[in-house]
Amino acid sequence: DTAVSQTPKYLVTQMGNDKSIKCEQNLGHDTMYWYKQDSKKFLKIMFSYNNKELIINETVPNRFSPKSPDKAHLNLHINSLELGDSAVYFCASSQVTSVETQYFGPGTRLLVL
Amino acid sequence: EDKVVQSPLSLVVHEGDTVTLNCSYEVTNFRSLLWYKQEKKAPTFLFMLTSSGIEKKSGRLSSILDKKELSSILNITATQTGDSAIYLCAVGNYGGSQGNLIFGKGTKLSVKP
């Protein structure tokens, strides 16, 4: 069974479109994260949710809006996509008491044309 | 601002060589240092270090933390082509209501036959 899953795996879209990436974890964790990894492989946290509440919101454009319908899901919605949004987006989860033990999803490769 | 710096950024070696990857950090409320290996998909966990001077080993890989120097090294002996990957260093801190992981930019290791 997949511990942390993301859909879609690949997403190719035009500038200006709105898209969503979904993430689900079946580990019973109470904290979920979104990371962005750019073309230079720099992995940077974007958001962290604990028990459906936003905990970390790094400096990302407000075109990015995370939504957590329940503890097992954290979706990422992106409005008005720009070329610079092209990257691999990783979802991860952990217990809040063990932030180091994060399980990563397989990633979603987003390409904005 | 918290930061994690890895060196070198890239490294090319031949099978059988020994390599040392470096990670230094300036992070408030340090909690832990982690090493990950990233091949084509999500980062996979290698080590977590919290105490200075205690080496952790897993097969041909080993790592040690120096809290006085604010740094860590990852050693790989008798390298194999399967060791080719990006090695990420991350530091966990105590931040707000939970910790956070701050990643370095990674070292890209290429092992040639």
Q: Is A55 within 8 Å of chain B by CB?
A: yes
Range of the domain at B95: 3-112
Given pLDDT bands bounded at 50, 70 and 90, which one contains residue B97?
low
Range of the domain at A66: 4-112
Interchain CB distance below 8 Å, B101 and A100: yes
CA distance A67 to chain B (A): 19
For range A49-54, the mean pLDDT: 79
Any idea what the CATH number is for the domain that residue A75 is in?
A: 2.60.40.10
Q: Which H or E run includes B102?
A: strand B98-103
- Please choose, from the candidates B4, B60, B39, B23, the residue with its C-alpha nearest in 3D space to the C-alpha of residue B109: B39
Alpha-carbon Rg of chain A, whole angstroms?
A: 13
Label each residue of A21-90 as H, E or C.
EEEEECCCCCEEEEEEECCCCCEEEEEEEECCEEEEECCCCCCEEEEEEECCEEEEEECCCCHHHCEEEE
Any idea what the CATH number is for the domain that residue B74 is in?
A: 2.60.40.10
Interchain CB distance below 8 Å, A43 and B43: yes
Measured between CA atoms, the residue of chain A closest to residue B44 is: A104
> Domain count of chain B?
1
- Contact list in A for residue B23 (CB cut-off 8 A) is none
> Domain count of chain A?
1
Q: How many CA atoms lie within 13 A of B76 on its CB side?
A: 25
Q: How many CA atoms lie within 13 A of A88 on its CB side?
A: 18
pLDDT in tens, B33-49: 999 999 988 898 899 99
Q: What whole-number percentage of chain B has pLDDT above 90?
A: 71
